[in-house]
Amino acid sequence: MIRWFGKKTAEAEIREGISPLYPRLWRFCLMQTGRRDRADDLAQMACLRALEKHHSYQPGTHLDRWLFRIAHRLWLNELRATAVRTGGGLVALEETEIPDQRADTETNIFARQVFSRIGELPESQRVTVLLVYVEGFSYKEAAEILNVPIGTVMSRLAAARKRISGVMRETETGT
């Protein structure tokens, strides 16, 4: 019996890598869609597309970035299609479900307030905040995933920080 000890094929690496990355991919999809059911669908579509397009993946590179890019493009395509069909496509903030599973009550309240404020950001800022501050991608990696210049990522993050901190200060002072 002869065994092959070479590098994994792209398809094999994707099949092995999807499962451990799925929770992060789903969270990314949730922040884009704002709803659990739509996040489920988008994450599953991204996984399916990754398997279908395995030939375009370079084994040994960053599978997480590649999957996030696929999910982001699928979501943009869905928004465009919905906008064409209905003239809309964005989810009302009241319909969003962003669970917070921390045990500490004060931490829960603060985290819920912050995530609520993040949910109120424009989509481009919201997704950028998630990629950099929650998922831990570098500015360069986030720029690659979103297919924008690194300066745009920096600008979106600065605008998001300014807006969230201003709103949180207003909440604290009661104005």
pLDDT score, position 2: 46
For residue 160, count other CB atoms closer than 10 A to its CB: 21
Instruction: Count Cβ atoms within 10 A of the Cβ of residue 158 and give its class: 0-12 exposed, 13-18 middle, 19 or more buried.
Output: exposed
- 42 falls in which pLDDT band (50, 70, 90)? very high
Q: Which domains are present in the chain?
A: 7-94 (1.10.1740), 98-175 (1.10.10.10)
pLDDT score, position 40: 93
pLDDT score, position 79: 82
For residue 25, count other CB atoms closer than 10 A to its CB: 23
Out of 11-15, 96-100, 129-133, pick the least confident. Answer: 96-100
Q: Which residues contact 130 (CB under 8 A, 6 or more apart)?
A: 27, 28, 31, 118
Kindly report, residue by residue over 45-57, the tens digit of the pLDDT.
Answer: 999 999 999 888 8
Dihedrals phi, psi of 7, to nearest 5 degrees: -70, 155
Query: Does residue 109 surpass a pLDDT of 70?
Result: no
Q: Structure tokens of 130?
A: 């998630």
pLDDT score, position 140: 92
